[in-house]
Amino acid sequence: MTLCKLLAPFTPFVAEEMYQNLVPSAHTGTRLGADKEVPESVHLADWPQSDPSLVDQRLMDDTRLVMRVVSLGRAARSRAGIKVRQPLSRVVVRARSPSEGRGLQRLESQILEELNVKSLELADGDGAMDGLTMAEDEVGYAVGLDTVVTPELADEGLARELVRRIQNLRKAAGFDISDHITTYLTGPDWLSRVLAKHGDYVRQETLSEELTEGPPPTGVGAHAEEQKLDGEPITLAVLRR
């Protein structure tokens, strides 16, 4: 009933239909409107009351801190001129207390995903940020990114960029979001290496049944574009299956 009541101001008819279908079954043998606890209409029901005991204050505080850290991490990326799609090896965070550090560790996966880094470290001394690209705020938080892009990280970044380009090509071709495709790629020497390492990821993200190196067959109606990636020409083509 709570959900129906919350929906009622925005979708009054849908909420009423849900209420009429669900509430009687939850109160077997009770006729709607027979007592004040089961009103005849969702629009006659009382608003649900909040229960402060259900509020997880620690989770709320941890989440606010994660948002602050992510914002600083993105500022550090911007300062280094590195796009979010390029994975990095680690982020180092200076929190203001051990309890805040534990909170960051509890929500580590969110920080790693939002900043596209492989590991999170907590600063344990004055030299912990040496050599990192930093961003800090006025209340004492600091975030440092290791901006050294190894060949492995560079290849992963190229794979992510390929996914973005193929998704844009799907959209330009007018494909539905659920359409499976064959993708054709023609490009520089690194292309084979990246597809060998990250082909499964590219296929999964773009719904490509096949990744074929080379141009599409003539006369099949593939949608193709010539682009530049990592400063080198590359041709991408997509064909609906």
CB 91 within 8 A of CB 111: yes
Q: What is the pLDDT of residue 127?
A: 86
Give just the sign of the alpha carbon dihedral 198, 201, 207, 210: positive
Reported as a single tens digit per residue, the pLDDT across 159-205 is: 999 999 999 999 999 999 999 999 999 999 999 999 999 999 999 99
Reported as a single tens digit per residue, the pLDDT across 82-141 is: 999 999 999 999 999 999 999 999 999 999 999 999 999 999 887 889 999 999 999 999
| Weakest-pLDDT range from 46-55, 145-154, 175-184 | 46-55
Pairwise CA distance, residues 110 & 146, whole Å: 18
CATH architecture of 152-240: 2-Layer Sandwich (3.30)
In 99-202, beta strands by DSSP E: 117-122, 133-136, 142-145, 181-186
Share of the chain above pLDDT 70, in %: 94
What pTM, to 2 d.p., does this model score?
A: 0.77
Q: In one letter, which amino acid is 117? A: V
Pairwise CA distance, residues 118 & 112, whole Å: 6
How does residue 23 score in pLDDT terms, banded at 50, 70 and 90? confident
Long-range contacts of 214-221 (CB under 8 A, 24+ apart): 214/184, 214/185, 214/186, 215/184, 215/186, 216/182, 216/184
